[in-house]
Amino acid sequence: MANFNIDAKKDMTYDAIVIGSGISGGWAAKELCESGLKTLVLERGRLVEHVIDYPTMNNDPWDTELRGAAAAEELKERQINARTGFVGENNIHFFAKDDENPYKEVKPFMWVRANQMGGRSLLWGKQCYRWSDLDFEANAKDGHGVDWPIRYNDIKDWYTYVEKFAGISGEAIGLPQLPDSHFLPPMELNCVEKDVKKRIEKEFPGRNMIIGRVAHLTEPLNGRGQCQSRNRCDRGCPYGAYFSSNAVTLPAANATGNLTIRPFSLADSIIYDEEKGKAVGVRVIDSETKEVLEYYAKIVFCNASTIGTTQLLLNSTSNRFENGLGNDSGELGHNLMDHTYRVGAMGKFEGHEDGYYKGRRPNGIYIPRYRNIDEKSTTDKFLRGYGYQGGAGRANWGAGANQEAFGGEFKDALMKPGDWEFFITGFAECLPYHENQVSLDKDKLDKWGRPTLVIDAEFKENELAINKQIQIDAVEMLEKAGLKDIVGFDNEHGMGYGIHEMGTARMGKDPKTSVLNATNQVHAVKNVFVTDGACMTSSSCVNPSLTYMALTARAANHAVSELKKKNL
C-alpha cells in the first residue's frame, strides 16, 4: 500500500478532482477511479498510510510518559479540538492545529477538524444509521427549511451499496423510522444491557434498545480483519477493522491505477470559466511552500467537510458569482446544523455482580427515535425528535477517587471490578435556521492569505425544548429499568460538540432557495458536486456520515454517467 502516486507535478489535467480525503472524499475517489476516471485527490494535510502511519496504535498506558494524556504544551496548539475531551497523547497527531484554519466564534462553536489524509475518518465513532422518510419529509411537513429533493427510495440502494463495502455491524429489527442496513453480525450486549433492554421495552411500548450499528467488521471482509475489541480505533487500526478512508476507500481507489493524491494541497478556490459556464479546475496553495498551482478537470467534487467546503465555495468568486460559487440563492453559508448532545442520565445497576465481559467493545447501545414518529407519539412541545446512545460497564479503580477510604484494603479492593453503571445520552435533531451561518472575514487572513471564517450559530427554542425532554425521558427510563442513584445531566455547550455539523450548501428542488440539486450538483455549475455534510437539507437525529457515503457514491456514479452522455 505504500505506493500512492503523489506525483501531481507531471500532470496538471485530470478527469476529476476530489477536494478532501475524509469519509466522503474517499468514497468519491473510489467511485470515480473505479469508473475509469483519472482522479486527483487534493488533501490539505499530510499523507497517512494505513498501518505505516499509526505510530501509537499499540501503546499501553505506561508506554508514554503521561500515560496516554497529552501535555499542556502540546494541547496549546489544539485548544479547540481539546474541548472534545478526546485528545490525548496517542491520537493528538490526528487532530488539526487551530492556527491552520482559525475562525471567529460569534457564539460558542466547536469546529473539530482533522487535516490529513483520511480526515476525521480516523477519529470518528463509527455509529452508522440510515435516514428514513421521516427525515427526508420533515422539512416539507413542518415547513422549516426547504424540502429535500430526494426521498428514502432514491438513496436506499446506495445505502446498501456502501454498507456492503464499508462493513456495518448491527441487528435488523424492521423499524420504519430507522431502516435496517445490510448488516454484518451484531456485536453483543452485555449482561446488564440485556436486562435493561428487556425492562425498557416492556415498560415503554414503542421504544427499543438495540446494539449500536457501527462500521466495524464482525467478520473479515475484502482482506480486512475482524474487530478485536481493543478500542484503540482513534490511533488507527492495525487490522483495518473499522471503516476509514485510509484502510478502505483510498486503497481501493489506488488499486485502479487511476488515483493521484496530492498532500499539502490546500484548495483555495474553484476556477470558473465564464465562457464555458462551468468550472474548469481548482486553485491550490501548497501548504508547505505557499506556491500557488492550478489543476484542471472536467468535474470537481467538494469533500472538504461541511464548513471547509462552504469556505472554499464562498472564496470562489468570479464576475458571475460575486458572493461565492453557485450562490444565486444567497443560501450558501446558511442553515448550519449540528446535533444537541450530552444530555441524559446515568445510574447504578444492582445484580450481575458475578458477571463481566471480555473486550473493550468500540460500541454501545442505541435507543432509536420514538417521538413524533406517528400520530400516537406526537407531542406539541417540540418538532422532530431524538435518539440515545449509551451503554453499561463495570466501574474500575477510577471509582476509588470518590470513596471515603484509603489504605491497603482500599487499594486491594480496587483490583476487582466495581459497580455496574449504565448511562444514556441523547442526540437531537436541529432545525435549519437561515441565520445560523458561516461567512468570510476578508480582513482577517489565515497564514496562507485566505479569508478566515466567522461562525455564528446557536441552538434555539426547539432544540432546548427537546433537550429538556431528553433528560426527563432518560431519568424515567432508568428508573423504570430499575437503576439506582440516578443522576440526570445537561451538559449542552452550544453547537459543534455533536461533531455532526451539516448544511450551508443545501440540496433543494428550487435554485432560488438552495445551492445543490437532487444529485448534489451546484444548480448553476453542474460539473461541481458537493457531497459532504454541506449538502444536507435537514439534520435528522441520527449520525450523518453513512448518509454522506451513500450520497457521494450516488452522485459520483451520476457524474460518470453524465460525463459519458457528454452532459458535463
Ligand X SMILES: Cc1cc2nc3c(=O)[nH]c(=O)nc-3n(C[C@H](O)[C@H](O)[C@H](O)COP(=O)(O)OP(=O)(O)OC[C@H]3O[C@@H](n4cnc5c(N)ncnc54)[C@H](O)[C@@H]3O)c2cc1C
Q: Which residues bind ligand X (CB under 6 A)?
A: 19-25, 42-45, 86, 112, 114-116, 119-121, 123-127, 265-267, 303-305, 308, 312, 499-500, 532-533, 543-545, 548
Please, what is the minimum distance in Å from the beta carbon of residue 216 to ligand X? 11
Residue with Cβ nearer another protein (84 or 452): 84
Residue with Cβ nearer another protein (448 or 489): 489
Binding span for another protein by CB under 8 A among 265-273, 296-304, 390-398, 459-467: 390-398
Residue 533 touches which of another protein, ligand SF4, ligand X, none (CB < 5 to 8 A by kind)? ligand X
Phi-psi region of 140 (alpha: psi -120 to 50; beta: other; left: phi over 0): alpha
Name the residue with cell 483519472: 38
Residue with Cβ nearer another protein (130 or 361): 361
CA 310 from chain center: how many Å? 16
Long-range contacts of 134-143 (CB under 8 A, 24+ apart): 134/176, 134/177, 134/369, 134/373, 135/538, 135/540, 135/542, 136/538, 138/383, 138/384, 138/429, 138/538, 138/540, 139/432, 139/537, 139/538, 142/383, 142/384
Residue 207 vs residues 177, 195, 367: alpha-carbon distances, Å: 12, 15, 7
Residue 51 touches which of ligand SF4, ligand X, another protein, none (CB < 5 to 8 A by kind)? none
State which of positions 332-371 bind ligand SF4 (CB under 6 A). 362
Rounded CA gap, 61 and 360, in Å? 15
Residue with Cβ nearer ligand SF4 (235 or 526): 235
As given in the structure block, the three cell numbers for residue 430 are 436541529
Binding span for another protein by CB under 8 A among 42-50, 126-134, 301-309, 387-395: 387-395
Please, what is the minimum distance in Å from the beta carbon of residue 419 to ligand X? 27
Rounded CA gap, 164 and 181, in Å? 9
As given in the structure block, the three cell numbers for residue 399 are 471509582
Residue 475 touches which of ligand X, ligand SF4, another protein, none (CB < 5 to 8 A by kind)? none
Check if the beta carbon of residue 500 is closer than 8 Å to that of residue 544.
yes
Residue 375 touches which of ligand X, another protein, ligand SF4, none (CB < 5 to 8 A by kind)? none
Q: Which residue is nearest to ligand X (CB)?
A: 22
Candidates 43, 147, 421, 463; binder of another protein (CB under 8 A) is 421
Q: Which amino acid is at 554?
A: R
Check if the beta carbon of residue 361 is closer than 8 Å to that of residue 463.
no
State which of positions 341-370 bind another protein (CB under 8 A). 342, 344, 346-348, 352-361
State which of positions 211-240 bind ligand SF4 (CB under 6 A). 216, 227-233, 237, 239
Residue with Cβ nearer another protein (278 or 361): 361
Residue with Cβ nearer another protein (51 or 399): 399
Please, what is the minimum distance in Å from the beta carbon of residue 190 to ligand X? 20
Residue with Cβ nearer ligand X (141 or 360): 360
State which of positions 209-238 bind another protein (CB under 8 A). 218, 226-230
State which of positions 235-274 bind ligand SF4 (CB under 6 A). 237, 239, 241-242
Question: Most distant CA pair in the chain: distance in Å?
Answer: 81
As given in the structure block, the three cell numbers for residue 101 are 484554519
As given in the structure block, the three cell numbers for residue 438 are 458561516
Please, what is the minimum distance in Å from the beta carbon of residue 285 to ligand X? 9
CA 148 from chain center: how many Å? 20
Please, what is the minimum distance in Å from the beta carbon of residue 165 to ligand SF4? 16
Rounded CA gap, 343 and 330, in Å? 34
Residue 194 touches which of ligand X, ligand SF4, another protein, none (CB < 5 to 8 A by kind)? another protein
Residues 161, 165, 168, 169, CA torsion sign: positive
As given in the structure block, the three cell numbers for residue 346 are 446515568
Please, what is the minimum distance in Å from the beta carbon of residue 70 to ligand X? 15
Residue 242 touches which of ligand SF4, ligand X, another protein, none (CB < 5 to 8 A by kind)? ligand SF4
Rounded CA gap, 91 and 236, in Å? 9
Residue 342 touches which of another protein, ligand SF4, ligand X, none (CB < 5 to 8 A by kind)? another protein
- Per rule CB under 6 A, is residue 128 in the interface with ligand SF4? no
Residue 123 vs residues 113, 120, 242, 243: alpha-carbon distances, Å: 10, 5, 10, 10
Site for ligand SF4, rule CB under 6 A = 216, 227-233, 237, 239, 241-242, 362
